[in-house]
Structure 1
Amino acid sequence: MKRFFSKIKSGFVWLGKNIKKPFIKLANSKAVQSYLGSKFHKTWLMLWDKYSFWMHIPLSMLLIFVMEWMSRHSFTEAWGFVVNHTGPYLFNSYCIFVALSIVFLSKRRGWWRVFISMIFIILGIINCVILLNRVSPFGYTDLYMISDLLTMQDSNYFSPQEAMIAITALVIYIIIMIIYLKNGKKKQNGKPFWQRLILVVALWVSLYPSTLLLRNSGIMTSYFGNLAQGYLDYGYLYGFSTSVLDRGMNRPFGYSKSKIESIVDEDSAYVSTLEIPSEDDSQPNIVVILLESFYDVSEADFIETSEDPIPYIHYLEQNYSTGHCIVPVVGAGTCNSEFEVLTGLSCNFFGPGEYPQKTILKETDVESYADVLSEDGYSTHVVHNNGGNFYSRANAFSMMGFDTFTSKELLDITDYTPLGNWPTDDILIDGTLDAMNSTPESDFVYTITVEGHGAYPTYQVEEDPAIKVNAVGKTEEENWAWEYYINRIYNVDDFVKQYIEALDARGEDTLVIMFGDHLPTMGLTNDEVATGDLYQTKYFTWNNFGMEKIDEDLASYQLVSEFLNRLNIHNGNINAYHQTAMAEGKERGTSEYMNDLRMLQYDIMYGDRYTYEVGTEYGPSDIIMGVNDVTIDSAYFFNGRLHIYGDEFTKWSKVYVNDEQVSTKYESGQVLSIKASDVKNGDVIKVCQVGSSNTIFRESNEYTVFDPNYVEEEEEAELEESETSEDADE
């Protein structure tokens, strides 16, 4: 390890020397020296020296304009922000002006001025790059996603080349700033330090009342129903700052034990009046499917297709309950729609752009429909063809009370989308059946698809796609993106058909609820969607026991509760609350409805949990990754490798020799191999399903390597030497 860090240090020293030389050479060049001696340069320095406080005003305004230019990818749109949202533009500029005031506390004003300015430029660059790959802008919660980002190399989110460019640019910037710090001039301050300190403190203190004033006047806001639109209307810097400062939930006004008890008592009173479940105690299986980036393109007037890309889903829509689903995100942020659907709680109460699965669920458990149904005797499962640690799902699903979680590390995935960056969804059929067949009880299964995931290529990928597309009024690049996307949901439609046929073949009563987590990253506008709202997707259902078809639009946090109500399942505090509101005729989404939901949500996630003094307290589960045993049956040496035979191997299987991981080659779902030099007779091996950050999700049985025909390298050398000696004697 010491040698490793020594090499890194040597590398940085070499890089520093080789980067420093050209900069020094440039600084000493005739052109630079001529400029430094020019009248223009001297006048500019005089202005900064004499009027530096006032010069920060145009600098601040310029920095905000540059940040907006990068974030919007358009000079014209950035100028439109200045003209059409002048108040927010000036306030964002004032925030930078305040930040720049720090320079007056130091003698190295120029260095600090460049350093602070570059912080904002770097923020702008980060947002610029992120918005090339998704709709949601950069927020504070994304810092929690760095570990997830690193697990997604070679995807449309992240590549090793991009990582190298970013690291190299950062190193160059650091070296330049070190050179500047060493050689830059110092400013002799004319004012006493205490006067400059008072000025800086006063400016920073002024941010709070000025923010409140602008919010109360309606020029700014503290909540973005549409995160991306909020950044566009109020500025990237303000949006990002809000995501940093407004995290979690604030204590609701009037929060108290008596208030919570009054809400829960109302729920309990409602539950006691409901119809008793059927006498035969039969409980249908309940399957919830998240359809990644699903959009019914028949609702877009500008899309023309050679045939219906989702005929089976349209069949379900005609024959079973359906409607639009109001989700909290657009283009990205799947886990927030997921959170609402699984808990019945609302992401509207958290800070802008917050992912509760990456924040509060790291600290505390939360009541979910898995808890509710476990209480009724259900086994609860999650099946997903992406990483178990992505969005911190393994932890989050434990905090939600699920029994098992089969992630991609436990699935033998071999088929991928044409670009090769996302698995196809058909693997989820066997994964779901395995989960349901692993227990005798009724099952609640939450399945997450990925095949429809973006980003979508702006060039032709398939020469002869099943669905031909004409995106009227769009560019050729946009048309290719739509064609690629629509052919992915064409495959998803076939997956849904096969999935439901497989469930029906089991011969058990089953309800399936499918919903789109958000619209795709396609630059859609409200005017282009039939609902006029980018935050509305669709949900579809299927059942094989004659449930009445009732169509209605629902928020994602109401979806599961509504169907549990139709199944006469009323336990659980949040579940009962939603059902109570419906029974009392409260209009969903009104201030009364949302205020009480906010109270319960705060109490359960941040408060004193008064809710559970009159109900059942739930807790996290000891979640099991996967449902099938990973087994080693035999192992043989040949061709310089140890070939390991067994079952349930995947591309994420790693062989451990005496508890040390070794390089593993995936041959098939039944065969792995390692170098013969990494193991010898008598060693104990096992196979582990390994997620990101080397998280071991599941282990096989231990197997002792023994092959009577295997000769170790030392023994083979001795044998050859002995044979050579015998030949010589003869």
Structure 2
Amino acid sequence: MKKIFGKIGAFFKQGRQIIKKPFVALANSKAVKWYFDSKFHKGWIKLWTDYAFWMHIPLSMLLVFIMEWLSRHSLVQACGFVIDHTGPFLFNSYCIFVALSIVFLSRRRGWWRLFISMIFIILGIINCIILLNRVSPFGYTDLYMISDLLTMQDSNYFSATQAIISIIALIVYIIILVIYAKFGPKKKDVKPFWQRLVLVIALFISLYPTTIFLRSSGVMTSYFGNLSQGYLDYGYLYGFSTSVLDRGMNRPFGYSDSKIKSIIEADQAYVDSIQTTTYDIAGEDGQSDGNLTVTEIDTGDNKPNIVVMLLESFYDVSECEFLETSEDPIPFVHYLEDNYSTGHCIVPVVGAGTCNSEFEILTGLSCNFFGPGEYPQKTILKETDVESYADVLHDDGYATHIVHNNGGNFYSRANAFSMMGFDTFSSKEMLDITEYTPLGNWPTDDILIGGTMDAMDSTDGSDFVYTITVEGHGSYPTYPVETDPAIKVKANGKTEGENYAWEYYVNRIYNVDDFLKQYIDALDSRGEDTLVIMFGDHLPTMGLTEDEVATGDLYQTKYFTWNNFGMPKEDKDLTTYQLVSEYLNRLGIHNGNINAYHQRVMAEGKKYGTGDYMNDLRLLQYDIMYGNRYTYKYGTSYKPTEIEMGVLDVTIDKAYFFNGRYHIYGEQFTKWSKVFVNGEQVPTKYESGQVLSIKASDVKNGDIITVCQMGSSDTVFRESNKYVVVDPSYAEEDIVTEEDEEEESADN
């Protein structure tokens, strides 16, 4: 054993010498030695040696400027940041200045200065590359989402050329560090270490009061509703740093058992005091009685199905000041607005961040209380469950489902929806998706119709379905894609590329409008009372400004509804965290802690976003997600569920050897179905929703195969029945089946 480990050690030592040799040779080269012996280098070193503290000021400013140049892809815009946002620019520079003070703790100050500086430049390069491929900048949450991003179609963040350039740059950087480690000067006659340490600690401590002061004075902010704009206004370094340090929720002032109790008791008293005035849905003349004051809808013993639909990047382009279209691209949506309740929906994000609008719509809680760019589904919901409208409707006997034509693990949705108390989740892995947008990067939404019907058919009672679309998702090409688009678009004052992008986008929502009509027709044909609430999660990633939208507010999208049981039309602007509560109130559903809170404060006339409204919501949210859960002590308590992926069984019916492949026939196969042989996954070819095939050589007589619906990170979402391989080249009596094994076990 000693001999073996000795050989292993010698092997690694030899490898280290081989790798080290070219670096040492370069460091000892005449060119390198000439530079380090030159007057220029010695003068430069003397300047940094004698005036290091003051030289860090221009260096810090230069590093911030380089980071902004990289992030904005524009030298001019980087200059604009310095001029138009001087306060944030100087604060970002100060942050780097403080970080550079670490060099004073070492004698090799030049090496540490280079090392620290390159960290900031590398951060800028990462953000630069990411922003070439998406709208939202690099933040701490992206470290949680690396696996998610790799599963997205059309999301290759590095081309082959970029990868090669990055590798070369990294090698050059390492070479420079090695050279500096060998030849870089050491500081002489340094001050006592304790003095240098006190200086560094004092500088780092100063960051906190400085940040608080600048936030209170309005120079900086602690919340970015539009993450991209926040980074542009306050600097990439500040944006990234706050995404790292300012996560979760701080304990609110006044948080206590007695305070939560008083809020819950007020909500319960309000619910108990409600005097229900019912509405005669269909009178003798078939007409509604408009003279009644409506607070609830009387739907009899049958509770209506409730469908909430998130429309990805949906925007009513008739509200765009510069856009002209050859015809109305969303006539059905405008029909819904004319005949059913509608309004503007105030969302927490712009251009990206779907899952934060999703979090608010499903829980009634606010993302304003979290750190900049934080996605609760990727952070706190990894650790704890949260009350949601799925829980509320469970109490009323509803089955709860999600249907979505994207990955089940993206935004950690499978986990998050379990933490929110849903029963089933039909993600793309459960759907036989064959149709895609013209670019081929997103599925069309029509697949959601069958998915929703299957979910509702899987239960006998009333259903709550949350549906998420993707057809309107960016990015939008700045070149022509469709030769003869249905809707012709003219973007006045925009470039040709921007016009192409808008034309592509408008034709996507034109298709979504048709999908919505088919979707609602399918629901109506079921003959069940149903309410549908549809809303846009955020404006599209088109660089819209406030003066280009009719509302003057980039945080406003549209919501619109449909029902088939006579709910009166009552238009109202609402936030995402209010929307579902408002309509549950109209249906006479008042249970749930957060639901009851919203209904009470809205009835009291308190306006969303104000202190009176948000202070107690913050207390409840902190208590449920981070605190002692006094809410569940005095109100209703909820628990997570063991969510089931999909609602239809994946089955193998039969299988045959043919043309060198083993063809497997069954039901509910998708492009994400993979065949397992004796528990090991083998390469699988999707033939259709009823046929898969694998190489004949991957199986042999008597092997047991299953088909699994696979999510990202090798997650098995659903598994089929077991099927025993029968190779006709074997004699029938030699084949041992599961039934034979069970009979033999019983005999024994």
Q: Deviation of residue 661 (structure 1)?
A: 0.8
Gaps of 5+ in 2: 1-6, 279-296, 733-748
Structure 1 position 187 matched with structure 2 position 186: yes
On the 8 A contact 2:148/2:409 being kept in 1, the answer is yes
Structure 1 position 365 matched with structure 2 position 381: no
Q: Which residue of 1 aligns with 2:570?
A: 550
Q: Which residue of 2 aligns with 1:647?
A: 667
Q: Which residue of 1 aligns with 2:209?
A: 209
On the 8 A contact 1:19/1:172 being kept in 2, the answer is no
Q: CA 1:177/1:394 → structure 2, altered by over 3 Å: closer, same or farther?
A: farther
On the 8 A contact 1:111/1:180 being kept in 2, the answer is no
1:558 partner SS: helix
On the 8 A contact 2:399/2:423 being kept in 1, the answer is yes
Q: 1:410-453: per-residue Cα shift (whole Å, max 9, x none)? A: 11111111111111111111000000000001000000011111
Within 2, Cα distance between the matches of 1:180 and 1:356? 45
Amino acid across the alignment from 1:508: E
Within 2, Cα distance between the matches of 1:15 and 1:328? 52
Identify which range, 96-105 or 365-374, moves more after superposition: 96-105
Within 2, Cα distance between the matches of 1:24 and 1:652? 52
Q: Which residue of 2 aligns with 1:219?
A: 219
Within 1, Cα distance between the matches of 2:321 and 2:261? 50
Within 2, Cα distance between the matches of 1:184 and 1:520? 53
Q: Deviation of residue 203 (structure 1)?
A: 1.5
Q: 1:667-714: per-residue Cα shift (whole Å, max 9, x none)? A: 1110111111111010110000010010000000000111324699xx
Amino acid across the alignment from 1:310: I
On the 8 A contact 1:111/1:177 being kept in 2, the answer is no
Q: CA 1:285/1:167 → structure 2, altered by over 3 Å: closer, same or farther?
A: farther
Q: Which residue of 2 aligns with 1:688?
A: 708
On the 8 A contact 1:340/1:556 being kept in 2, the answer is yes
Q: Which residue of 2 aligns with 1:595?
A: 615
Within 2, Cα distance between the matches of 1:11 and 1:479? 59
Within 1, Cα distance between the matches of 2:662 and 2:14? 43
Q: CA 1:491/1:711 → structure 2, altered by over 3 Å: closer, same or farther?
A: farther
Q: 1:159-197: per-residue Cα shift (whole Å, max 9, x none)? A: 674884587357526643552365242413312222222
On the 8 A contact 1:156/1:421 being kept in 2, the answer is no
Structure 1 position 52 matched with structure 2 position 72: no
2:693 partner SS: strand
Structure 1 position 395 matched with structure 2 position 415: yes
Amino acid across the alignment from 2:400: T
Q: CA 1:24/1:429 → structure 2, altered by over 3 Å: closer, same or farther?
A: farther
The within-5 A match list for 1:132-151 is 132-151=132-151
Q: 1:452-491: per-residue Cα shift (whole Å, max 9, x none)? A: 1111111111111111111111111111111111111111
Q: Deviation of residue 206 (structure 1)?
A: 1.7
Q: Which residue of 1 aligns with 2:73?
A: 73
Structure 1 position 246 matched with structure 2 position 266: no
2:572 partner SS: coil
Structure 1 position 355 matched with structure 2 position 352: no
Structure 1 position 426 matched with structure 2 position 426: no
On the 8 A contact 2:133/2:157 being kept in 1, the answer is no
On the 8 A contact 1:653/1:666 being kept in 2, the answer is yes
Q: CA 1:162/1:537 → structure 2, altered by over 3 Å: closer, same or farther?
A: farther
What is the root-mean-square deviation of aligned Cα atoms in Å?
Answer: 2.6
Identify which range, 266-275 or 340-349, moves more after superposition: 266-275
Q: Deviation of residue 229 (structure 1)?
A: 2.8
Counterpart selection for 1:698 from 714, 718, 730: 718
Within 2, Cα distance between the matches of 1:255 and 1:45? 56
On the 8 A contact 1:357/1:392 being kept in 2, the answer is yes
Provide the TM-score with structure 1 as the length reference: 0.92
Within 2, Cα distance between the matches of 1:107 and 1:493? 67
The within-5 A match list for 1:549-588 is 549-588=569-608
Amino acid across the alignment from 2:307: V
Counterpart selection for 1:452 from 469, 472, 484: 472
Q: Which residue of 2 aligns with 1:727?
A: none
Q: CA 1:687/1:320 → structure 2, altered by over 3 Å: closer, same or farther?
A: same
Structure 1 position 113 matched with structure 2 position 110: no
1:99 partner SS: helix
Within 1, Cα distance between the matches of 2:390 and 2:218? 41
Within 2, Cα distance between the matches of 1:208 and 1:694? 43
Amino acid across the alignment from 2:192: P
Q: Which residue of 2 aligns with 1:129?
A: 129
Q: Which residue of 2 aligns with 1:168?
A: 167
Q: Deviation of residue 554 (structure 1)?
A: 0.5
The percent of aligned pairs where both chains have the same amino acid is 75
Q: Deviation of residue 558 (structure 1)?
A: 0.5
Q: CA 1:16/1:121 → structure 2, altered by over 3 Å: closer, same or farther?
A: farther
Q: CA 1:188/1:690 → structure 2, altered by over 3 Å: closer, same or farther?
A: same
Amino acid across the alignment from 2:723: Y
Q: CA 1:464/1:279 → structure 2, altered by over 3 Å: closer, same or farther?
A: closer
Amino acid across the alignment from 1:655: V
Counterpart selection for 1:443 from 463, 475, 485: 463
Identify which range, 692-701 or 603-612, moves more after superposition: 603-612
Identify which range, 215-224 or 408-417, moves more after superposition: 215-224
Q: Deviation of residue 77 (structure 1)?
A: 2.1
Q: 1:126-163: per-residue Cα shift (whole Å, max 9, x none)? A: 222233333332221221111211222x4146467488
Q: CA 1:408/1:175 → structure 2, altered by over 3 Å: closer, same or farther?
A: same
Counterpart selection for 2:657 from 632, 637, 642: 637
Q: Deviation of residue 17 (structure 1)?
A: 6.6
Q: Deviation of residue 573 (structure 1)?
A: 0.6
Gaps of 5+ in 1: 1-5, 713-730
Amino acid across the alignment from 2:449: I
Q: Which residue of 2 aligns with 1:722?
A: none
On the 8 A contact 1:20/1:175 being kept in 2, the answer is no
Within 1, Cα distance between the matches of 2:347 and 2:577? 8
On the 8 A contact 1:291/1:515 being kept in 2, the answer is yes
On the 8 A contact 1:111/1:184 being kept in 2, the answer is no
Count how many residue pairs are aligned between Structure 1 and Structure 2: 704
Within 2, Cα distance between the matches of 1:709 and 1:72? 66
Q: 1:7-28: per-residue Cα shift (whole Å, max 9, x none)? A: xx99999999799859966984
Q: CA 1:689/1:181 → structure 2, altered by over 3 Å: closer, same or farther?
A: farther
Q: Which residue of 2 aligns with 1:718?
A: none
Q: 1:493-528: per-residue Cα shift (whole Å, max 9, x none)? A: 111111111111111111111100011111111111
Q: Which residue of 2 aligns with 1:93?
A: 93
Amino acid across the alignment from 1:375: D
On the 8 A contact 2:23/2:178 being kept in 1, the answer is no
Amino acid across the alignment from 2:664: I
1:420 partner SS: coil
1:445 partner SS: strand
On the 8 A contact 1:134/1:331 being kept in 2, the answer is no
Q: Which residue of 1 aligns with 2:636?
A: 616
The within-5 A match list for 1:149-548 is 149-152=149-152, 154-156=153-155, 158=157, 161=160, 164-165=163-164, 168=167, 171-172=170-171, 175-176=174-175, 179-180=178-179, 182-190=181-189, 191-274=191-274, 275=276, 278=298, 280-548=300-568
Within 1, Cα distance between the matches of 2:712 and 2:509? 28
On the 8 A contact 1:92/1:238 being kept in 2, the answer is yes
Amino acid across the alignment from 2:120: F
Q: CA 1:35/1:159 → structure 2, altered by over 3 Å: closer, same or farther?
A: closer
On the 8 A contact 1:135/1:330 being kept in 2, the answer is no
1:511 partner SS: strand
Provide the TM-score with structure 2 as the length reference: 0.90
Structure 1 position 605 matched with structure 2 position 625: yes
Q: CA 1:166/1:397 → structure 2, altered by over 3 Å: closer, same or farther?
A: farther
Identify which range, 599-608 or 34-43, moves more after superposition: 34-43
